[in-house]
Structure 1
Amino acid sequence: MSDSREKEVVGAVHPQLFIGGQWRDAEGGRTFAVEDPSNGATLVEVADASVADGKAALDAAVAAQTDWAATPPRDRGEILRKAFEIITERADELALLMTLEMGKPIKEAKAEIAYGSEFFRWFSEEAVRISGRYSVAPNGATRLLTLKQPVGPCLMITPWNFPLAMGTRKIGPAIAAGCTMVVKPAALTPLSMLRLADILTEAGLPDGVLNIVTTTSTGKVMEPLIRDPRLRKLTFTGSTEVGRTLVEQSAEGLLRVSMELGGNAPFLVFDDADIDRAVEGAMLAKMRNIGEACTAANRFIVHEAVAEEFGTKLTEKMQALSVGRGTEDDIDVGPLVEAKQRDKVAELVDDAVGKGATVLTGGSAPEGEGYYYSPTVLSDVPLEARLAKEEIFGPVAPIFTFTEEADALRMANDTEFGLVAYAFTSDLSRAVRIYEGLETGMVGLNQGIVSNPAAPFGGVKASGFGREGGAEGIEEYLETKYVGIAL
């Protein structure tokens, strides 16, 4: 990829705050650097918002709420549909921008563009299906009417690992439902979200409906908005630790809250599984987004009778992956997002090896610039290893073994998290027992990817609450009103 093309794509981004339909500098002209994780070079300086800037964004959302809620559902849906079409047309440009700021290989970035845009298409169709009901009271004396109305102004805090899709799956249902919003993208990867603001404006979204605030002082800038009585909903994707803090802050205003938090996904392989199919599923579940995904398989829990075969075949697949700057088409594994993340992965691997795990491949960071970590497979991992409990968020596959089905289920559920699990078996009865027994919000049965805009995404336990996508997704942005009608 040429330097001129990269500069052109980055140069198309407005590096400012987007408030009330206008691009504006942060208070005092403050900025922060967004870097390329493949080499640490600064891509661009972006506005670093203050508390006053955050309040201005909420002011704009509140001012636009009444008119936006009164906009016909079909019109809201058409805006989403138009935005979907624009994103699809500009997929190459948007994918390159994403790769530059986040590091994922260009082919993965293109896959995210396709996935993320689908939330706009899906919710463009849901906008016109918001409905209530009408019934006769049991005593026949009155009529009961229920209707759905938008929650109101929303605050959306999105993570760095899916810079576009984590925004579209929140913004899509909010637009469809008639809610205005303030979006705070991750400071590590704000460029895709800023570009999305241009696209939605081009698609016809009125001023003030979407407001974007970039800042390195997330807690300081966001807390006053969360505590502002005009805000009616908070949605966050990120760590459980931060999620708990935000839920506490939201309690003051009794906000509607959606939390998509951490994961520790088990990947179960039974002795009757098709091992080749399980390995293919493992590569998808582990290596999507370089392993930097809350849905990434974190623990491979494999029956002892097939553990060696599974480990050998998985190792062969991991060794075949090419590592390098994600802008090249033939690269499979790009850099992790920052040095801190790479160092965390290295710590977890070193801890496991120190406690007895065997390195089948990888196990270290390659020499040179950038935040790379080699694709890694570990076998004989003890349950005492930190990565048995902590989210890895990197290209590392630790293999644990089990003997009995009950042991596998117990090991899978032995975590505070409950986002997603994967299970491979050819026994239908066992499959039912397993997916019913897993304490997760989602299960991939004989498949390594569960994310789908038409399905409800979310977890249980410390992985949060609320659902994004599917028919359930728009309900998070709607309130139910009941009207009793006297005859």
Structure 2
Amino acid sequence: MLKFADLIDENVEEIAALDAIDGGKLYFFLKIVEIPGAVEYLRYCAGAADKIHGTTLKMSRELQAYTLREPIGVVGHIIPWNSPSHMFAMKVSPALAAGCTMVVKPAEQTPLSALYYAHLAKLAGLPDGVLNVVTGYGSTAGAAISSHMDIDKVSFTGSTEVGRLVMQAAALSNLKPVSLELGGKSPFIVFDDVDVDQIASLALQGTFLNKGEICIAGSRVFVQEGIYDKFLIKLVEKAKSWVVGDPFDPNVHQGPQVDKNHYERVLKFIEIGKKEGATLLAGGNLSNRKGYYIEPTIFTDVSDDMTIAKEEIFGPVMSVLKFKTVEEVIKRANATKYGLAAGIMTNDLNIANRVSRSIRAGVIWINCYFAFDNDLPFGGYKMSGFGREMGLESLNMYLQVKSVATPIYNSPWL
């Protein structure tokens, strides 16, 4: 695993180019942040591989007992197109450390880096058959993995709709366990005691990073009424300086949407927002570049029941909503079928503690956003899925617990 990590490091420019070409992601972000982060997590899990231990149990009867933690077996990983390198490492690393073999199905839109990773794994000395990459469409290759009787566990990241299909196929085959990281509609809550300029920049990143194609995007921005107007002015000012263009250009903030179908889907949501009465404050137009480019789009006068406030758009579209009290924003932030992440922006420790304990989401960020770490478990509540990736807890998803008991000599159990 450590040799595998070294080889990825040595080939980071080529891998970054593959992901940029495949998915429109920013080349320099891939090269400097995302792929090095994937390497770091691979090394983190490699360090845990020889530290998987069972427990010696103190029994209430005349028995000696302990537990073993054993590999779950063959794992099927189905990964999404929005962060192919990050998701590859997030799923493959703990499964390898746990001693599993696996079949990885990259998204049909972005298969190239996964194939390259398989090549590097072979060069690193992973035995044949341990890490297998199978390309194809979700309806065929993904469905085959989910329903295969010889696959012992499925890990899926993608939409809630497809997550249901994966669960159904797993249940109807060999009842294999499933872990799901699904959609999100995360609240980004701004209280009136913050530095407006600083938090407006963070809100922009929270929605528009990776052209909005990110499950934890804080696209429901709740702003307390005392700073609402001032905050909007700053948002628009900063959105106008957001550069959309060639993902290989180091001065660009946002590349093209992944493909034509998704591009048209995002544009459809923008039109729905207009028709339902939201005010288009910025963007909403096509970039004047050739390709699947959409300008950063900001809606105001958004009500909680509007489609753009309820559905995961997965594109550069932000809804700004006004609130008065802590009680109100907690209720409204939780009024969603999703529960993946949330951001709380305040200098009041009491508010930060109260709101973080009240929001039903798997990850809460206070005065920061996208604050990932190898030790920080990640996963969702409600229809955002279940199971935790990252952290040492991630290894537990790929391990079985076996209990072993023996009688003590001359015990009644003989």
- TM-score over 0.5 (shorter chain): yes
User: Letter of the aligned partner of 1:387 in structure 2?
Assistant: I
Tell me, in whole angstroms, the C-alpha distance in 2 between the residues paired with 1:118 and 1:251.
34
Instruction: Report if aligned partners of 2:181, 2:386 keep a CA contact under 8 Å in 1.
Output: yes
Tell me, in whole angstroms, the C-alpha distance in 1 between the residues paired with 2:275 and 2:171.
43
TM-score (structure 2 length as normaliser): 0.95
- 1:210 pairs with 2:135: no
Instruction: Report if aligned partners of 1:134, 1:144 keep a CA contact under 8 Å in 2.
Output: yes
SS of the aligned residue for 1:414 comes to coil
TM-superposed CA distance for 1:400, in Å, is 0.6
Question: Residue 352 of structure 2 is aligned with which of 427, 431, 445?
Answer: 431
Q: Pairwise CA RMSD of aligned residues?
A: 1.4
| Correspondence for 1:227 | 147
Structure 2: gaps of 5 or more residues:
409-414
Query: 1:174-222 deviations in whole A, cap 9, x for unaligned?
Result: 1100000011100000001111111111111110001111113x22334
User: Letter of the aligned partner of 2:161 in structure 1?
Assistant: E
Tell me, in whole angstroms, the C-alpha distance in 1 between the residues paired with 2:212 and 2:188.
14
TM-superposed CA distance for 1:366, in Å, is 2.3
TM-superposed CA distance for 1:356, in Å, is 2.6
User: Structure 1 stretch 223-232 or stretch 152-161: which is displaced more?
Assistant: 223-232
| Correspondence for 2:363 | 442
**Change in 2 beyond 3 A, CA 1:341/1:227:** closer
- 1:129 pairs with 2:51: yes
| Correspondence for 1:119 | 41
TM-superposed CA distance for 1:423, in Å, is 0.8
Question: Residue 295 of structure 1 is aligned with which of 216, 241, 261?
Answer: 216
Tell me, in whole angstroms, the C-alpha distance in 2 between the residues paired with 1:272 and 1:423.
12
- 1:81 pairs with 2:5: no
SS of the aligned residue for 1:156 comes to strand
| Correspondence for 1:145 | 66
Instruction: Report if aligned partners of 1:442, 1:450 keep a CA contact under 8 Å in 2.
Output: no
- 1:199 pairs with 2:120: yes
| Correspondence for 1:238 | 158
Tell me, in whole angstroms, the C-alpha distance in 1 between the residues paired with 2:141 and 2:22.
23
| Correspondence for 1:306 | 227
Instruction: Report if aligned partners of 2:298, 2:317 keep a CA contact under 8 Å in 1.
Output: yes
| Correspondence for 1:453 | 374
| Correspondence for 1:327 | 248
Tell me, in whole angstroms, the C-alpha distance in 1 between the residues paired with 2:48 and 2:8.
19
The number of equivalent residue pairs is 406
Counterparts of 1:15-414 in structure 2, within 5 Å, are 80-110=1-31, 111-139=33-61, 141-216=62-137, 218-252=138-172, 253-414=174-335
Percent identity over the alignment is: 38
Instruction: Report if aligned partners of 1:160, 1:189 keep a CA contact under 8 Å in 2.
Output: yes
Instruction: Report if aligned partners of 1:102, 1:189 keep a CA contact under 8 Å in 2.
Output: yes
TM-score (structure 1 length as normaliser): 0.81
Tell me, in whole angstroms, the C-alpha distance in 2 between the residues paired with 1:448 and 1:229.
40
Tell me, in whole angstroms, the C-alpha distance in 2 between the residues paired with 1:398 and 1:178.
44
Instruction: Report if aligned partners of 2:221, 2:318 keep a CA contact under 8 Å in 1.
Output: yes
User: Structure 1 stretch 271-280 or stretch 261-270: which is displaced more?
Assistant: 271-280
User: Letter of the aligned partner of 1:238 in structure 2?
Assistant: G
Query: 1:323-348 deviations in whole A, cap 9, x for unaligned?
Result: 11101221111000012212222222
Tell me, in whole angstroms, the C-alpha distance in 2 between the residues paired with 1:325 and 1:300.
28
Tell me, in whole angstroms, the C-alpha distance in 2 between the residues paired with 1:327 and 1:124.
32
TM-superposed CA distance for 1:254, in Å, is 1.8
User: Structure 1 stretch 378-387 or stretch 91-100: which is displaced more?
Assistant: 378-387
Query: 1:428-476 deviations in whole A, cap 9, x for unaligned?
Result: 1111110100010111111011332221110010000001110110000
Query: 1:383-427 deviations in whole A, cap 9, x for unaligned?
Result: 332111111211122101111111111111111000001110111
Tell me, in whole angstroms, the C-alpha distance in 2 between the residues paired with 1:282 and 1:368.
25
**Change in 2 beyond 3 A, CA 1:227/1:395:** closer
**Change in 2 beyond 3 A, CA 1:204/1:134:** same
| Aligned structure 1 segments of 4 or more residues deviating by more than 4 angstroms | none
| Correspondence for 1:64 | none
SS of the aligned residue for 1:391 comes to coil
Tell me, in whole angstroms, the C-alpha distance in 1 between the residues paired with 2:12 and 2:29.
12
User: Letter of the aligned partner of 2:395 in structure 1?
Assistant: I
Instruction: Report if aligned partners of 1:352, 1:382 keep a CA contact under 8 Å in 2.
Output: no
TM-superposed CA distance for 1:98, in Å, is 0.9
Tell me, in whole angstroms, the C-alpha distance in 2 between the residues paired with 1:221 and 1:354.
38
User: Letter of the aligned partner of 1:384 in structure 2?
Assistant: D
Tell me, in whole angstroms, the C-alpha distance in 2 between the residues paired with 1:228 and 1:342.
33
User: Letter of the aligned partner of 2:292 in structure 1?
Assistant: Y
User: Letter of the aligned partner of 2:303 in structure 1?
Assistant: P
- 1:418 pairs with 2:339: yes
